[in-house]
Chain A
Amino acid sequence: MKIDATQLEDLALGSVFLATGGGGDPHVPLLIAKQVLSKLGPVNVIAPENLDDDALVVAIGGVGAPTVSLELLPSVDDAARTLEAFEQQVGRKVDAVASFEIGGGNSLIPLVAAAGQGVPVIDGDGMGRALPEAQMMSYAIAGVKPTPAVAYDYAGNITAFSTKSTDVYERHIRSLAMVSGGMITTAEHPMSGKELKNSVIPGTLSFSIELGRTLRENRGCSDELLAPLQAVFENSIYGECRNLFTGKVTDKATRITGGYDVGEATIEPFDGNGPALNISIKNEYLLATLDGSVIASVPDLIIIVDYETSMPINAERLRYGQRVAVFAVGCPNFYRSAKALKVVGPRCFGFELDYVPLEEV
């Protein structure tokens, strides 16, 4: 399978849906990916199972505050230069690149790096959605070490990392991002083909394109959206898809705390009859609460779309007065293990409750 420039819009659209409110606006990464793939041609996509066990794979993407990159634009060759710097650091070529997270702009950066350096990209990612921190990646959860890793900034400065713990590595790259204008590109969590097969959320790259196409073909009122969404999620690694609520945003308050956009949104039914839905936000939509009971929680996916166009809405763009529909999708099974829930369950985001799978609510 190959991905060419004409499939990128669908990929970006699907990735905003899977980003569950986080991941940043993929507009600029999409512009870059379109330019690079138009110029250098399509990128080869390789299914994890077709990779040699001793192949070298590295995960690549952006780290930092997406709001900052609204002002400090990336350059088209940042991703390829990052990969090149990584190869120099480890003294060999990589055999494939993988994505941190399929949600948001980070779904596109590996494609840009792969096109620039002429390597294939893995069909899969390390989250199956968007999540805020490196230790929440499936690679880290499965025991892949974060380094050797390199970071590349807007001015071409290269920083190399060597540390065993992903928690410590996460702190280091965060502080580097802070003094580098808020956004850096990293190549990290290098792994063998065998390690990748054990840790990747498979098939999400091709799935995101299919999801994006479904959303594009079903533009219009979201009352019509549930059936096509269920059809596309049915044969995927994801669980059940539900329409949780439809209404208008009557309140949204968030503030930046420790680099995260934290707060709540309230959505009331259009006719005002019946209880309101409450959404807890920390960059992503994490909890949906109706009448005091949680009806969906992280790591299951909570998605808010515009009621009139069915286009997904990022948390930073969700505002008072918007007419919306809220959907929930069961997360891939990988994230339902006790080991995974220890790093991505509701308690990891400061909520005093246990995860209940969507199907059991």
Chain B
Amino acid sequence: MRIGIDVGGTHTDAVILSGDEVIAATKALTSSDVVSGITEALDTLMKDGGVKQSQIDKVMIGTTQFTNAIIERRELSPVAAVRIGLPSGQGLPPMIDWPEDIASAIGRHHYLLHGGYLYDGWPVADMDDREIDAMIGELLASKVKNVAIAAAFSPMNADPEKYVAEKILKAIPDAKITLSHNFGRLGIMERENAAILNTTLLPFAEKVISSFLQALTNRGLTCPVYISQNDGTLMSADFVSAYPALTFASGPTNSLRGAYKLTGLKDAIVVDIGGTTSDIGVLQGGFPRESNTVIEIGGVRTNFRMPDILAIGLGGGSIVSSDGHVIGPQSVGHRLVNEGLVFGGGTLTTTDIIVASGVADIGDASNVGHVQKSVVEQAVTRMHQMLDQNIEMMKPGGKAMPVILVGGGSVLVTGGLQAASAIHRPENAGVANAIGAAIAQIGGESERLVSYREVPRDDAIAKVKQAATQRAVKAGADPATIRTVDIEETTVPYMDESTTRVRVKVIGEIA
């Protein structure tokens, strides 16, 4: 059996799964120390499920702690950003386009060094040991020990980043360093931003991960622990301590993956209706469809891949105009329990409309007796129209598709949706995130630059796939279950036309 835990900003959800079956599920408040929220959830869970510690093989944790830290500008440590690319990029230092509040929280410590490569492998400039040593001298004086290093074209040649990191570690053995090539993809500013965001979280990551482990140990769980990352695969707890930024999108990813698990639908639209918004995502082959726009985290441009989510202003707390024609985007949010009519408040909300329509029994229905029937009908129609139009936009094709409703606001959907071939309201939808974490798989990725003129394409891809498989197996995947989920071929512009960067991603079940 396995346990899935989702540590969100407000709630900590947990489930026990035995194979595909949900044995127990619970929701607790996230505590400020994180630990007691998890132990509380675990206690309820083990008691409800009647399960012993020894029956649990593994624990998977999904968390938005790191995303929230960036968005709320808290728990951020000072970072020295080192870019290797001079003489190019003079006058464009790291963090130049960051919002002032987060840049000053991290401190504008930056260093520009000579070195890096052009796309064709020619060095931008020779590296200068004296320049590097002078930078290290300043690092020592400033006492900043978290360092992010980015070099021009490091996804193709990471040597300059590694060289500088080694020199820093020799002088500052307890330095915490992130190398940008581990965040892949071309675009030095976005890659460097990802590395800086990761680095600023490193001390907090150690604290959070040790709280997770502490909470589990407190309850006698000594089995392997995994943390879910952006693409819905898992990493070891140690790995997250070094790469906390890889959890940035795990919230929506786990929600979509959980909806898939709860229904078994590989291709579907998932609508997560909360208090303020409806978040519409798309499942393709059981995984979230990814967005292709530049992703900003807390106002910082990054190169992360995130699920494609369309958020519309329709939730259980959305404010309804007196004629029922306009709904949202303003919402009373979590104040619904004070301000909604059925709770004795004075604001007409979508929840009041549903109660007035007689479909749901929430709060005191007598408080909405005065709302005209025509207004109720108009508002109900409008809510369904809003969902229909937006689902229509997200759907991959013209045909109607199954729609999975999750989240507390899903009571708003009382009728059919034209865009939906069927509507699913899975049991346990409230803990979809924890379930998504519990079913996550192990992934492996590898990439290299190849010339199809020298190596036939199929052979080249097979080689990269083999390297990716080795990584996945090393990380704990069962070799028999490995399958390829993504092959990305990028022709390098202006180079010999057969030169291609091949990146392969594989995933497999936990061995």
Contact = CB atoms under 8 A, between A and B. Distances in A.
Among the interface residues A65, A71, A182, which one has the most CB atoms of the partner chain B within 10 A? Answer: A71
Nearest to A276: B398
B89 A73 contact: yes
A31 interface: yes
A258 B496 CA distance: 9
Interface string B474-501: 0000000000000000011110010000
Contacts of A258: 497
Contacts of B88: 72-75, 154-155, 181
Interface string B265-303: 000000000000000001000000100111000000100
A71 B399 contact: no
Nearest to A67: B493
Given A71-B186, A256-B493, A321 B396 contact: yes
Contact of B494 (A71, A259, A321): A259
A31 B301 CA distance: 13
A52 to B, nearest CB: 34
B85 A72 contact: yes
Contacts of A197: none
A323 interface: yes
Contact of A75 (B89, B120, B394, B494): B89
A35 interface: yes
A271 B186 contact: no
A65 B118 CA distance: 13
A145 interface: no
Nearest to A72: B88
- Chief secondary structure at chain B's binding surface: loop
A169 B152 CA distance: 29
A257 B496 CA distance: 10
A182 B119 contact: yes
B189 A317 contact: no
A308 to B, nearest CB: 7
A181 B188 contact: no
A177 B389 CA distance: 47
Contacts of B371: none
A282 interface: no
A307 interface: yes
B92 A28 contact: yes
A154 B152 CA distance: 12
Interface size class of B (residues with CB under 8 A): 35 or more
Contacts of B97: 27, 31
Given A154-B87, A156-B87, A319-B292, A31 B92 contact: yes
Nearest to B310: A308
A104 to B, nearest CB: 16
A70 B188 contact: yes
Contacts of B456: none
Given A31-B97, A73-B188, A270-B392, A68 B119 contact: yes
B91 A35 contact: yes
B153 interface: yes
A257 B491 CA distance: 9
A75 B396 contact: no
A7 interface: no
Contact of B397 (A31, A32, A272, A308): A272
B494 A68 contact: yes
A319 B396 CA distance: 12
Interface in B140-159: 152-153
Contacts of B54: none
A155 B118 CA distance: 12
Interface in A253-276: 255-259, 261, 268-273
Interface in B96-149: 96-97, 118-120, 122, 124-125
Given A155-B125, A248-B393, A250-B396, 14 more contacts: A31-B92, A31-B96, A64-B494, A67-B186, A71-B119, A71-B186, A72-B85, A73-B89, A154-B88, A257-B497, A261-B493, A268-B398, A321-B308, A321-B396
Interface of A: 27-28, 31-32, 35, 64-65, 67-68, 70-77, 154-156, 177-179, 181-182, 248, 250, 255-259, 261, 268-273, 306-308, 317, 319-323
5 contacts: A156-B87, A181-B122, A256-B491, A321-B282, A323-B310
